[in-house]
Every structure is written in structure tokens, then in C-alpha cells.
Amino acid sequence: MNTTVQEQAALKTEAAVQTETSVSPEAEGAVSQEKVPLTQEEQQLFGQSEKTIEVGLGQFVDVGNALIVISDHKLYRDSFDTFEDYCRQRWNLSDKYAYRLINAARCVTSLRGELAAQAVTTFPSNESQVRPLLDLDPKKWAKAWLKVLKDTEGHQITAKEVQAVVNKLAGKPKGEKTDTPKDQLAKTERKLTKIEKLVEKALDHKSVGPNSSVRKLLEDILKTIKRGQK
């Protein structure tokens, strides 16, 4: 990634950590501001950021930082109304996954900065390893990661091991069962599938007219569910 892009993303990361906030769809807002054409500098920044995403979808930190730049500067505004639309239509990324990448990038950037003086060279290698850390206060990220490195010395780090450390720091009882991110996702998908079937059943009911407001509402709900499952 171009140095200028990295510096801008890092600055945004520091600000987010200091205020202990995280990105969410609610914070981004669903209604776009009045469109203002991209300047030449913004077009260059947009191109650099998109190139990072295109060639490095496996490099979650670089991709997350590129998404931060695009979101913060609204570089998508020439072709898309919202950042969420941009992610879905341009990269086939769901809203939730795009924001997970952004928050994961901010977390890892924070860890690298805070642990640089301690000569730490091993950091999360995928987004699933970072996800449990985001449940903690950002001030505890470095402490948690150091504990993970200590507990997993000599073998591969898994999201489950990171979650175990987070549980200890959060004061959860040792015997308390905690769903892994994969388990939580599976539960959510099962719930969405049930809701989807109920909505489809309602649409087939004879009381729902073809042009009724109820049908339109049900169709919108169904579209939202299907979009979230991508």
C-alpha cells in the first residue's frame, strides 16, 4: 500500500482507539451526503485503496485499512450512495464482514504500535483471531495478545485460544461455555433461515394482495435477509 494511504489509515486508527469507538453501520449512516465530485487527489487515493483490496483480499489488515480510507473520505460517492452499497456491489462483501475487516485492521495497527517497543513480531494472521479481542476494552488488547503469545508458544494460534484469553481477562468463569465466532455465525444463519421461511410463507398467503403495503414490506424484509446471507 502506498505510504500516504497507510499513514492516513493509521491516524484514523489512533483516533478510534483513543476514543474507544468502533465502526458500525449505525455510525456510518444509511443516508449519503450530497454528492461532491472526487478531486484529482481523491481519485488517486481511491485508486490506490482499491488496488490494495483487489490484489490482497487475503491480507486483511491492508484491506481493512484501505476500506477505512475509502469510508472516511467517502471515495465511493461518484458511483455509490453509501459505503455499504459500495462494499456489496464492488467487492461482494457483506456489511458485517466489511466492518469486521475495518475493526480488525484498527486493532492490529494498535497492537503493532503499542508492542513495537517490546520487540513483538507475531501478530494476528487472520480476521478470526482478532474478533475475540474486539470484545475487550481497547486498552486491554496488548495485554491480551501478549498472553495469547505466551499460552501458544511453539504452536499455531487459533481463534479459540484467543477467545479463552479474552474470557479470562473479562472475568468469565472457567467452566462457562462460550460459543466460538463460527458457532455464533451458524446460530445467526439458522435464525435468518427460519425468518426467511416465515416471510415466504406469509407472502404466499391469500390475504396478502399483490399491490398491498404489507407485501412490499415483506418483500423488503426478504431482500434484506438474502443480502445479509451473502
Q: Is residue 196 part of a domain?
A: yes
Write out the residue range of the structural domain in which residue 215 sits: 181-228
* Residue where a domain stops, chosen among 103, 131, 159: 103
Read off the pLDDT of residues 140-194 as tens digits, 9 standing for 90 and up: 999 999 999 999 886 888 999 999 999 999 887 655 556 666 777 777 877 878 8
Q: How many domains does the chain have?
A: 2
Q: Please, are residues 76 and 93 in contact by the beta-carbon 8 Å criterion? A: no
Instruction: Please write down the long-range contacts of 148-155, taking CB distance under 8 Å and 24 or more positions apart.
Output: 149/120, 149/122
Q: In whole angstroms, what is the distance from residue 67 CA to residue 95 CA?
A: 12
Read off the pLDDT of residues 76-109 as tens digits, 9 standing for 90 and up: 999 999 999 999 999 999 999 999 999 999 999 9
> At residue 126, what is the residue type?
N
Does pTM surpass 0.75? no
Read off the pLDDT of residues 8-44 as tens digits, 9 standing for 90 and up: 554 444 444 444 344 444 444 444 456 789 999 999 9
Of the candidates 119, 123, 67, which has an alpha carbon nearest to the alpha carbon of residue 91?
Answer: 67
Looking at the structure, tell me whether residues 8 and 99 fall in a common domain. Answer: yes
Grid cell, residue 111, equals 497492537
